[in-house]
Structure 1
């Protein structure tokens, strides 16, 4: 009986000593969780109004959520009477170790944030970067995914993207298609320019503004080369490129204008 009485007294002392702390910790946790939920909701509304990129929005909300939850846990632990200095030191040391181990990833992360904030390109843009040409399919926080003209998926680290040169073929809404057509030296230049211009103006994918151009580009060894340069929408680039060469060949043939090609001369012995 005496042992039971002792345990009962110890239990009462524990409840009296730690009961208010535990109740206070529970109340702090409940209120803190409610405040975190409200803050995250307010952040989401602000980002939606500011038209943030979806990837950046998700990342920032997750980052803030975890930071607030860690802070709330530290406050709850402190309320229970546990020294949080040790926990803070452990978290700081872990953060430093992770940062040193993931320097490359952090560089990609920083690059991703810069890309999502300053928007040098967006999903659907045709870009050239890091030696790769492709259409942007996804902008993640660490990488950018491009679909190449060969329908291959290229995954490029955002650190390299943010620190390198980027050519955005879509940003201006139009792109020039550079082609070169060579004709025989005996061909009439004015007639050739007229025929090639008709090829461009008859193509519905070629823009009227800026106007296409046809100019003598080079007097080569065996041909007079014309710079044939139509403008089109970025998504029509390859079709206009192919149409220009095919249409030029057919039109020049119909006009009797020869396109030079190597001739083999057979020498009889």
Structure 2
């Protein structure tokens, strides 16, 4: 009789042990398959950016990570379900924690959202010269949260993307050919036609000024003491600053050589003798 009771006791625990073993095996299978699927999904999303040059790698790596961790979250819930854990409360707790973190990181999430928009619409790219958030410089890096500029005096400026998106963005490198606006004045007694010829010759001799479109040289304003020209030569974007800072000196020397006066303010003093 005692032998029969012992056999019954052993048979009572056998199904429970078998169930636990089955759940452990299934949980491991779900875990390994889920990790494999998450890895494949990440690579699939990233490969989309690799197939198209106009798509940004950083953005698709972010999307790939988002997909991977979303899949792993569902895998974790499925594994817990195999052991009878009630996951509804865990999901609610994670949701509440996510909401609290989101409220605490509003500024960071704003920069993240702006970074996603910048990487999707690409108003500028690395090596472009831009004017953003009151700063001008060369773009050296764009990530999910910040844009990094290098200024001409070799300083690094890190700008949160939230301060860029939604504001005016001036991309000086968008077009291959750029116009360079400059102003020059001559005295009223000088010949406008002769001054124009001198200026046009300087522009024609400059190695970085293109022939098409042709430079624009016209009288813009009749000022109090001078006739002012608007001079707009065109050049490739990489030579913009070379043209901007070399042409004024060359035109000044050319006008001096041609005997054309460049006026400057004069002040007349009248002395009244009261004796």
Q: TM-score, structure 1 length as denominator?
A: 0.89
**Alpha-carbon distance, 1:103 to partner:** 1.4
SS in 1 for 2:164: helix
Match of 2:213 in 1: 210
Match of 2:33 in 1: 31
Tell me, yes or no, if structure 1 residue 125 matches structure 2 residue 128: yes
Match of 1:75 in 2: 78
Cα distance in 2 between the residues matched to 1:144 and 1:44: 22
Match of 2:144 in 1: 141
Number of equivalences: 263
> Contact 2:202 / 2:254 at 8 angstroms: preserved in 1?
yes
Q: Unpaired segments of 5 or more residues in structure 2?
A: 1-5
Q: Unpaired segments of 5 or more residues in structure 1?
A: none
Match of 2:257 in 1: 254
Q: TM-score, structure 2 length as denominator?
A: 0.87
> Contact 2:46 / 2:57 at 8 angstroms: preserved in 1?
no
SS in 1 for 2:165: helix
Match of 2:61 in 1: 58
Cα distance in 2 between the residues matched to 1:205 and 1:76: 67
CA deviations over 1:108-154 (Å, ceiling 9, x no partner): 11111111111111112222222222222111111111223333322
> Contact 1:130 / 1:161 at 8 angstroms: preserved in 2?
yes
2:105 aligned to which of 102, 105, 111: 102
Match of 2:177 in 1: 174
Cα distance in 2 between the residues matched to 1:151 and 1:163: 27
Match of 1:20 in 2: 22
C-alpha root-mean-square deviation of aligned residues, in Å?
Answer: 2.4
Match of 1:236 in 2: 239
CA deviations over 1:244-265 (Å, ceiling 9, x no partner): 1011011111111122224567
**Alpha-carbon distance, 1:12 to partner:** 6.5
Match of 2:222 in 1: 219
**Alpha-carbon distance, 1:180 to partner:** 0.6
Cα distance in 1 between the residues matched to 2:195 and 2:93: 78
> Contact 2:187 / 2:261 at 8 angstroms: preserved in 1?
yes
**Alpha-carbon distance, 1:72 to partner:** 1.4
